[in-house]
Structure 1
Amino acid sequence: MRALLTLIAGLAGALTMADAQELGPGGRPVGEAWSRSPVYAQNGMAATAQPLASQVALDVLKDGGSAVDAAIAANAALGLMEPTGNGIGGDLFAIVWDPETEKLYGYNGSGRSPMGLSYDQLKERLSEADGLPPFGSLPVSVPGAVDGWFALHERFGRRSMAKNLAPAIQYAEDGFPVSPVIARYFEMNLARFEQDGLKEQIEEFDNARATYFENGAPKAGELFKNPDLAKTYRTLAKKGRKAFYEGELARTMDAYMKRIGGALRYEDLAAHKGEWVEPACVSYKGAELCELPPNGQGFAALQMLNILKNANLASMDRAGPELFHLMVEAKRLAFEDLARYYADPETSEFPRELLSDEYGAERFALIDQERALENPGPGGPFESDGDTTYLTVADSSGMMVSLIQSNYRGMGSGLVPDGLGFMFQDRGQLFSLDPEHPNVYAPGKRPFHTIIPAFAMKDGKPWISFGLMGGAMQPQGHVQVLVNILDFGMNLQEAGDAARFNHNGGARPVGMLNEKRPYGVLSVEPGVPSETVEALRALGHNVEVSDNGILFGGYQAIMRQDNGVYVGATEMRKDGTVAGY
């Protein structure tokens, strides 16, 4: 026996790294081998991108809070625990199903550009730049998240805001262990902030370094605290929304911007107001997908579905090139319209013809089954006047909340106002500088927005509250998830775990992403068969295979069954969990 063991050890030692085989996944008694079970619960549920935030939401539900109370509490916790994607320096959008009125409510909590910075002044400060920079004060717009919290709470809250903010305050003071994916994003954000050519855009970085990077990027498992954010949350808990937009917090932000030479002022904060908006829905395979109107990009998902409903996707191979080609071309066609028409509706009316079945059929007829379109262009002409976190919560009454919140490019602008513990967003980078474009920069205007919550209905009843964070990935991700469920019978978890594509390129509301490669790049995950990848390349798609998960968004979802039981799913590409009871 000893001789046999010696022989085995010798053979093992002789193997090179190239000879070693990678251990694959285990098996499952039910469902797909590459997925895991959805979560079922009867009384309440929360799905967020950070496990502790999901538990915070669940504790609020158990204490009698509404789904909105729990969503606010979780979002406050995420602003602390996942500052790489969101925080109260950013904006917020939400869709709420209210069982009492049996109605969907939408909220647009996006902020406006500084009123004291004109287009000409901005162009002068930009010099020869083609667009607004990603960092520093120039892309900073008014943060709308806090206003969104209080507006949602006023209509749907059951507990005090002080109670809702208490868990995040305690974690901010006592600390919490950083989770692995967020640690990776901390590392990536710090590298960008320190990159030559970018760091020069940030007028002041000492505050951000002291708040987030005192000892470099926080590591997974490391305890992280943010006492400044705890103080800010305490002020909000005690003095309410007014403290942020008209009180001491607004004065601090104003003084900070004056100190560093930024344009945002107290008057901009005091003038801010979000708005309740009406979601729009389109039918697809017995369900309705509902999205918020521009200045967000949610209607692009509706346009994609209106194009795709003209084909029988269920008859196709889910992993085959025919289906991928159709979905990518539908995305490209929808995004051409997005680039032309999506902007602040106060300055440019959205053409409702874009959401008609007839227009979807017209756009579908443009798709060439044998070749990717070279230059699809927008439809029309029509008359016209002019990195992120997603969470969802449901409670025992049947209320369901779909909420998304972001600072835009990762952590945001790099600017942390003195002693407040949060970073300003850089959402203004998404303004166009083309004076003829509906999304052109103007003082006091809302920029085009990428963050979009989603909601699906069936037979007039709430069905799925869901979202998928990640820039332009969001509308195409919404569509891929629904196609997986409605056309291919995947369960809620499998629909999110399945390999995705992300087409990035072509026209955007800020102009062409890459003039030399107008088609852009089609990124796919390793789960897409190599034969499909090669077939797509033969059709003219610029395909790249990426295995890091970063490009493909972050999905959370809660489904309500006919018997009232909730089904939850979360994102394997993030740190999140579903919690229910």
Structure 2
Amino acid sequence: MRNLELPGRSVARSMNGMAATSHSLATLTAINTLQDGGNAMDAAVAACAVQGVVEPESTGIGGDCFVLCAPRGSSDIVAFNGSGRAPNAATAQWYADRGIEKLERFTPHSVTVPGSIDAWTQLLRDHGTRSLGDMLQPAIRFARDGYAITERVAADWEGEIEALTHDPVTSGIFLPNGKPPALGSVHSQPLLAASLEMIAEQGRDAFYKGAIAEDLVAHLRELGGLHSLEDFAAAAGEYVDPIKSGYKGYDIYQCPPNGQGVIALLLLNILSGYDLASMDAMGAERLHIEIEAMRLAYGARDAQLADPAQAEVPVEKLLSADYAAELRATIKLDRSAVPPAPAPIAAHADTVYLSVVDKDRNAVSFINSTFNSFGSGITGPKSGVVLQNRGGAFSVDPEHPNCIAPGKRPMHTIIPGMVAKGDRAVMPFGVMGGHYQAAGHARFLTNLLDYGLDIQQSMDMPRIFALPGEGESEVEAESGVPREVLSKLEDMGHRFCEPSKPIGGSQAIHIDWENGTLAGGSDPRKDGCALGY
């Protein structure tokens, strides 16, 4: 239990249902949905749709979606991959012929076909109780009538002014009067409201086959993109078999590649060889091991992760105890000996993650993203849909497993998590923050399971991130990391820098089966909260 005399958040606790999101309006939307008789999947979709309006820099219907769910709290976890694909005309040779060596963010070449609306449709059909049209109504109201700009949203928006100037449509919507809307002011998105209403009335085909698809494809092609109406019409996410690894008596579930969930599990496997609980939770010994393990795991990620439908991804090897032991053996306890992972193809980004558990203990771990803040910066001129830049994670090197190809899905950073024990789900959880997410999953779980911190304390603790490819051995360190600890780490060969913004965000809900209660946490680095009823 936290010291109640100090600033901080108490763990949210309830009996019937709970939601935790990175925006208070989204959390309230989820709770309203649950209290109105909807289930956890209904609430998750409704909340995420709201976030796509009120947190427009982080997510939206122009992005992708991954989900883990535990029907009635069972450990028979369901996984859904709602990531979009490259256009069918996108070949490595096409880019090579034009001298394109990187799929730059503000170009149509970074845009993959969005997967969110298809994912929401399938998930509501199979695991919800309400229609997509009904679940879009709160988002429609906020887009049409307006929403107040909150602290983290305002800070992120202010940092993306240049990004919002590449497309006149985008700047017209998100830089009214030439600047971001001020903190506490009201912003609305009438074009997006009309698109959401169209989807609510006509279903997913309005996005993938109707006027919205026509608007987006026409704009992308005008900018030199390869997208076609056939690419949008063919969009379809899929159910996949989740992967898992054991840690401290629990099963940790992730979606399989093309996401980086396997790297979160690899990190845990490496860390499982140390007695972390005997170390100071914010001491140099623990942080040194964490930094070195990150470099090893992210090096494996950027060399091997890709779309398994079009490349060989050695998941079994990456999850094996032998491989973790092999990597662990290269870590020196007294000095930095692991070189930084290669620079990732795509820049560091952010997203939104949410957890929902209902009265029947259906548990949903849900993540949705446009990758960079405001994605590609490209917006449909008639639809108001901001398109993701997830294609920027592709390589154009034909020898790389993550090389772009027709209909291929890029390596993805967004990963929902689920913890189970025996035949029951215990906790949907997730950590936002672009490339940080795999490291964030491992840090959150070790805080919780090795150090016995509560769900909120495990999120609050200051974070570090060993940036891939950033200098000889540069590590982001939040201001809460003690200076004396950083000094000890510097003596071991580490170099530190300040993060450009707080590292990530997180949500989680723990199911206490014995007492019949729920405990939720929400990251103070964001504008959200956990609420129950």
- TM-score category of the 2 structures, normalised to the smaller one: over 0.9
In 2, Cα distance between equivalents of 1:377 and 1:432: 16
1:441 corresponds, among 381, 400, 404, to: 404
The answer as to 2:516 corresponding to 1:575 is: no
In 2, Cα distance between equivalents of 1:190 and 1:112: 28
In 2, Cα distance between equivalents of 1:456 and 1:90: 26
Which letter does structure 1 place at the counterpart of 2:385? F
Which letter does structure 2 place at the counterpart of 1:183? A
Corresponding position of 2:117:
146
Give the alignment of 1:103-182 within 5 angstroms. Answer: 103-125=76-98, 127=99, 130-182=101-153
Structure 1 runs (4+) deviating above 4 angstroms are: none
When Rg is computed on C-alpha atoms for both structures, the one with the higher figure is 1
Unaligned 5+ segments in structure 2 are 343-349
Asked if the contact 2:244–2:251 (Cα under 8 Å) also holds between the matched residues in 1, the reply is yes
Corresponding position of 2:491:
538
Corresponding position of 1:502:
465
The answer as to 2:516 corresponding to 1:554 is: no
Asked if the contact 2:522–2:528 (Cα under 8 Å) also holds between the matched residues in 1, the reply is yes
Q: CA deviation at 1:262?
A: 2.0
Corresponding position of 1:9:
none
The answer as to 2:405 corresponding to 1:468 is: no
1:355 corresponds, among 319, 333, 336, to: 319
1:236-281 deviations in Å (ceiling 9; x for gaps): 1111112211222222222222333322111111111111111111
The answer as to 2:474 corresponding to 1:526 is: no
Asked if the contact 2:367–2:415 (Cα under 8 Å) also holds between the matched residues in 1, the reply is yes
Asked if the contact 2:295–2:339 (Cα under 8 Å) also holds between the matched residues in 1, the reply is no
CA separation of 1:427/1:532 partners in 2, compared to 1, >3 Å: closer, same or farther?
Answer: same
Asked if the contact 2:258–2:306 (Cα under 8 Å) also holds between the matched residues in 1, the reply is yes
In 1, Cα distance between equivalents of 2:496 and 2:423: 40
Which letter does structure 1 place at the counterpart of 2:170? A
Corresponding position of 1:302:
265
Which letter does structure 1 place at the counterpart of 2:521? A
Q: CA deviation at 1:421?
A: 1.6
Q: CA deviation at 1:545?
A: 4.2
1:364 corresponds, among 328, 332, 343, to: 328
In 2, Cα distance between equivalents of 1:101 and 1:244: 33
In 2, Cα distance between equivalents of 1:457 and 1:31: 30
In 2, Cα distance between equivalents of 1:240 and 1:85: 24
Corresponding position of 2:202:
239
Corresponding position of 1:190:
161
In 2, Cα distance between equivalents of 1:558 and 1:395: 11
Which letter does structure 2 place at the counterpart of 1:292? C
Corresponding position of 1:83:
56
1:482-508 deviations in Å (ceiling 9; x for gaps): 1111111100000000111111114xx
In 2, Cα distance between equivalents of 1:154 and 1:257: 30
CA separation of 1:459/1:275 partners in 2, compared to 1, >3 Å: closer, same or farther?
Answer: same
Secondary structure of the corresponding residue to residue 267 of structure 2: helix
Which letter does structure 1 place at the counterpart of 2:141? Q
In 2, Cα distance between equivalents of 1:575 and 1:100: 28
Secondary structure of the corresponding residue to residue 76 of structure 1: helix
CA separation of 1:488/1:176 partners in 2, compared to 1, >3 Å: closer, same or farther?
Answer: same
Q: CA deviation at 1:560?
A: 0.6
Asked if the contact 2:64–2:83 (Cα under 8 Å) also holds between the matched residues in 1, the reply is yes
In 1, Cα distance between equivalents of 2:85 and 2:387: 13
Corresponding position of 1:333:
296
1:398-420 deviations in Å (ceiling 9; x for gaps): 01111111111111111111221
The answer as to 2:217 corresponding to 1:254 is: yes
Q: How many residues align?
A: 523
Q: CA RMSD in A?
A: 1.8
Corresponding position of 1:477:
440
CA separation of 1:575/1:300 partners in 2, compared to 1, >3 Å: closer, same or farther?
Answer: same
Asked if the contact 1:412–1:424 (Cα under 8 Å) also holds between the matched residues in 2, the reply is yes
Secondary structure of the corresponding residue to residue 269 of structure 2: helix
Secondary structure of the corresponding residue to residue 251 of structure 1: helix
CA separation of 1:299/1:258 partners in 2, compared to 1, >3 Å: closer, same or farther?
Answer: same
Give the alignment of 1:266-285 within 5 angstroms. Answer: 266-285=229-248
Asked if the contact 1:466–1:556 (Cα under 8 Å) also holds between the matched residues in 2, the reply is yes
Which letter does structure 2 place at the counterpart of 1:578? A
Which letter does structure 2 place at the counterpart of 1:277? V
In 2, Cα distance between equivalents of 1:254 and 1:132: 18
Which letter does structure 2 place at the counterpart of 1:317? D
Secondary structure of the corresponding residue to residue 152 of structure 1: helix
In 1, Cα distance between equivalents of 2:4 and 2:78: 35
Secondary structure of the corresponding residue to residue 107 of structure 1: strand
Secondary structure of the corresponding residue to residue 533 of structure 1: helix
Q: CA deviation at 1:229?
A: 1.0
In 2, Cα distance between equivalents of 1:523 and 1:101: 38
Q: CA deviation at 1:224?
A: 1.0
CA separation of 1:115/1:526 partners in 2, compared to 1, >3 Å: closer, same or farther?
Answer: same
Secondary structure of the corresponding residue to residue 190 of structure 1: coil
Corresponding position of 1:25:
none
The answer as to 2:378 corresponding to 1:415 is: yes
In 2, Cα distance between equivalents of 1:117 and 1:103: 37
Asked if the contact 1:88–1:146 (Cα under 8 Å) also holds between the matched residues in 2, the reply is yes
In 1, Cα distance between equivalents of 2:284 and 2:391: 37
Unaligned 5+ segments in structure 1 are 1-27, 195-201, 379-386, 507-513
In 2, Cα distance between equivalents of 1:32 and 1:301: 35
Asked if the contact 1:502–1:551 (Cα under 8 Å) also holds between the matched residues in 2, the reply is no
Q: CA deviation at 1:52?
A: 0.8
Secondary structure of the corresponding residue to residue 143 of structure 2: helix
1:10-50 deviations in Å (ceiling 9; x for gaps): xxxxxxxxxxxxxxxxxx97368353211001111111111
In 2, Cα distance between equivalents of 1:256 and 1:525: 40
1:161-191 deviations in Å (ceiling 9; x for gaps): 2211111111111111111110111111123
Which letter does structure 2 place at the counterpart of 1:280? I
Q: CA deviation at 1:136?
A: 2.0
Q: CA deviation at 1:366?
A: 1.4
Asked if the contact 1:253–1:266 (Cα under 8 Å) also holds between the matched residues in 2, the reply is no
2:71 corresponds, among 98, 101, 105, to: 98
TM-score, length-normalised on structure 2? Answer: 0.95
Which letter does structure 2 place at the counterpart of 1:136? T
Asked if the contact 2:41–2:124 (Cα under 8 Å) also holds between the matched residues in 1, the reply is yes
In 2, Cα distance between equivalents of 1:258 and 1:414: 15
In 1, Cα distance between equivalents of 2:88 and 2:495: 42
In 1, Cα distance between equivalents of 2:337 and 2:526: 33
Asked if the contact 1:114–1:265 (Cα under 8 Å) also holds between the matched residues in 2, the reply is yes
Asked if the contact 1:470–1:551 (Cα under 8 Å) also holds between the matched residues in 2, the reply is no
Which letter does structure 2 place at the counterpart of 1:361? A
In 2, Cα distance between equivalents of 1:315 and 1:260: 57
